[in-house]
Structure 1
Amino acid sequence: MNWINRIKINQKILGSIIASLLFLSLILGIIIWNSLTDTMAKDLKKHGESVAENIAAMSSDYILIEDYYAIHQLIARARQANEDIRYILVFNSKQMLVGHTFPDFIPKGILDAHTPQGTEKELSILTSDEGRIHDVLVPIEEGEVGFVRVGMSEKLPKEYTLSKIGDLILATILVCLVAVGIAYFTTRIITKPINDLVDTASGISAGNLSLRASVVDDEDLGKLVKVFNEMADNLISSRSKVEKLLEELQEKERLRDALISKLLSAQEDERKRISRELHDETSQALASLMVTMRVLADEAEDKEQQELLYTSRDIAAGILREIRDLAVELRPPILDDMGLIPAVKRYIESFKEKYSIDVMLEVPDDSIPLDDQTSLAFYRITQECLTNIAKHTVATKVTIKIQVEDNFIKIAILDNGQGIQKADFEMARQQNRIGIYGMKERAALLGGEFLIQEARTGGTEVVVAIPIKQKEG
């Protein structure tokens, strides 16, 4: 039905008028045909009865004196005088045929096709190769002398009826053509402003906001055109406002991205500074303290003091290890020195040892050329994902897959925990946990995509894809 919607309104109106005229013509044709057919049947019966009664009256004496020649002349003259008479049959009181108008032979079955049932006039409809025959039977002297059958053919009346129907069809066609012409010009006048309005609306929809509909004199259409033009003016005003708001929004979005980028950069710089201070200053101070306690313990004469110094040294050594691990976690030097893959491997080994969770890493190559920002983003996302798995799931196995596809580096992290639900996101929002938001922002700032969802096999799946930018230098 889509093709109907593509038809213009004037064509729809014109088509409706034509369809209505054709339907009306069809109904009138059926009514006229039925009326003429009924009239024809009545006329045939009436004419046949008249002819049969006349022959019955004139042939009574001829039958009694058995003057068959006179009967033949009588019915022959009647047959010639009436073209719609197909045959005339005359029977005596013993139902023996004494006269007929068939030139050669009597058709088979015609004699027995209609026999008298009483002393009244009768009508029977017979079917023949030439069409229907109205067989009128009239008794002669109430049947005591015989009876007459006159067969009235529908051929000539039907030809006359068909000719009249043909005239009606021709007149209908002429009326339809005139009506179509009038309807066409009328609909053109009525629908031209509407079509102009549609064309203007299509042009405005295509982006040409300078178009305006032409003003018309018609009161109703004039109001519609006026309202439409005012709507177009308001549309320009609204579009300007929307464009201005959009520019402001884009500017705010740009400033937000810049702010987030600076915050992340400042955070990484602060992590690097703290990591360096922990490694260079705090670690060195603890190392010096450990050396001093070792010297004091070796020189101590009191056994109890010596054990105390050794115990304190071991505690300091443990603190030193934790500080060095913290320094590495804050900013692993291997990330800057050797790249993403070795840094991730190192972190996974530390994670497995700390949380006893099996982590399997799949990588295509250890040397994927990435810029520092992309490497750092992937490292932090991996770090945040593994931390969330350890804190918020009961997972025992994690699979990390890093691959390069269509100039994108993609990381997929899948665990076998209980899976993340919508309620988990709402709880994280209420508790102001920004881990997922931070991962998403890191990916977005680099033009990448971030997806977190419940895996089909259970657990949670995190997928991040970021365009590859070659590392400078």
Structure 2
Amino acid sequence: MGKERWIKMQPDKNKISSYIIQSQEQEIKRIALELHEGVGQTLYSVYSGMQFIESAIDQPEMKKYVEDMTHILEKTIQEVRLLAVELHPPTLITLGFISAMKSYLTIYTATYGIEVDLEVLGNEVQLSEKENITLFRVCQEALANIALYADTSKAKLTVTWEHDRLLIVIKDFGSGFDVGKALSKATGLSAIIERMYLINGKCIISSQINEGTTIEIALPLIY
């Protein structure tokens, strides 16, 4: 009987990363749906019940208490809905990347007080679900970094639909940082580069201290 031959298979790191990201996105999508359809709807039912109780109470002190509780519930419902949109905008798949970004920027400005000037050039092209999600996550990560580190109240997001590629430029006018040092660590910037690589895109990050940061991402458009 001959000796068995064992072949050591090297795992494809890119496939593993892609699988992990896809699995994460599916879980995020599930959580967002549960927040919106499950928790959100349950809270709304309680809110409606509180409104009914409030209308039936005559005692001023009790009425004021129920009214306060109703306002708290209303605020909680809004926060849950905003969180669901932030996790996975329902418009991302149905209406596309631009519509989802517009919805997200409204939430972003309301949350962080940073005005983002969105400029869209050219005609939007239908992208795959994977591309839509990746681009959204990349922009989300870049904007989160601006809110956390840039120390600015303004940013600009330019989306240009060219004949053979999609170009997105995210620019802030904040404090800037050392790109080399940041990329040497496991940061959100590294995640942006890897995400774009997994959909055959490219990413260029440039920054100057006290002059701001620019992130350019490009995605080939295949018809």
TM score, norm. by length of structure 2: 0.89
Whole-angstrom CA distance in 1 between matches of 2:82 and 2:194: 27
The answer on 1:439 being equivalent to 2:196 is no
C-alpha contact 1:407 1:467 (8 A) present in aligned 2: yes
Structure 1 residues 455 and 408, CA, compared in 2 at 3 Å: closer, same or farther?
A: farther
- When residues 299 and 435 of structure 1 are mapped into structure 2, their CA distance, relative to the original with a 3 A threshold, is same
Q: Give the match's secondary structure for 1:398.
A: strand
Instruction: Give distance in 1, aligned partners of 2:60 and 2:165.
Output: 64
Deviation of 1:309 (Å): 0.9
Partner residue of 1:380? 137
Q: Which has the higher contact order (CA 8 A, sep 6+)?
A: 2
Q: Work out which of the residue numbers 159, 182, 185 in structure 2 matches 1:425.
A: 182
* Offset at residue 423 of structure 1 (A): 6.9
- Matched with 2:78 is 321
Change (3 A) 1:423 1:265: closer
Does the 8 Å CA contact 1:341/1:366 hold for their aligned counterparts? no
Q: Which residue of 1 aligns with 2:34?
A: 277
Residue in 2 aligned with 1:303?
60
Contact 2:115-2:154 within 8 A present in 1 as well: yes
Aligned-partner residue type, residue 194 of structure 2: E
Per-residue deviation, 1:275:
0.7
CA shift in 2, pair 1:284/1:422, >3 Å = closer
Pairwise CA RMSD? 2.2
Give the distance between the partners of 1:309 and 1:437, measured in 2 at CA.
49
2:120 to 359, 363, 366: 363
Larger radius of gyration: 1
Amino acid at match of 1:315: I
> What residue identity is the alignment partner of 1:355?
Y
Q: Secondary structure at the match of 2:206?
A: strand
Q: What is the aligned partner in structure 2 of residue 347 from structure 1? A: 104
TM score, norm. by length of structure 1 = 0.43
Please state whether the residue corresponding to 1:370 is helix, strand or coil: coil
Equivalent pair of 2:176/2:210 in contact (CA under 8 Å): no
1:467 to 211, 220, 223: 220
Name stretches of at least 5 consecutive residues in structure 1 with no aligned partner.
Answer: 1-246
5 Å-filtered alignment, 1:170-249, equals none
| Paired amino acid for 1:324 | R
C-alpha displacement at 1:399, in angstroms? 1.5
What SS does the corresponding residue of 2:121 show, helix, strand or coil?
Answer: coil
Provide closer, same or farther for how the CA distance between residues 374 and 300 of structure 1 changes in structure 2, counting only shifts above 3 A: same
Q: 1:299 to 1:424 in 2, by over 3 A?
A: farther
Partner of 1:33: none
**In the comparison of the two structures, how many residue pairs are matched?**
216
For structure 2, the residue ranges without an aligned partner over 5 or more in a row are: 1-7
Secondary structure of 1:363's match?
A: strand
Partner of 1:179: none
Q: 1:356 to 1:366 in 2, by over 3 A?
A: farther
User: CA, structure 1 residues 413+437, in 2 after alignment: closer, same or farther (shift >3 Å)?
Assistant: same
AA aligned to 1:330 is: L
Compute the displacement of 1:456 (Å). 10
The residue type equivalent to 2:36 in the other structure is H
In the alignment, residue 112 of structure 2 is paired with which amino acid?
Y
1:100-115 equivalent positions in 2, closer than 5 A? none
What residue is the counterpart of 1:390 in the other structure?
A: 147
Q: Which 4+ residue blocks in structure 1 deviate beyond 6 angstroms?
A: none
2:207 equivalent among 454, 463, 467? 454
Any idea what the Cα deviations from partners look like across 1:180-235, whole Å, max 9, x if unmatched?
A: xxxxxxxxxxxxxxxxxxxxxxxxxxxxxxxxxxxxxxxxxxxxxxxxxxxxxxxx
**Shift of residue 379, structure 1, vs aligned partner:** 0.9
What is the Cα deviation at residue 351 of structure 1? Answer: 1.6
Partner of 1:262: 19
Deviation of 1:460 after TM superposition, in Å, equals 0.5
- How far did 1:424 drift? 4.9
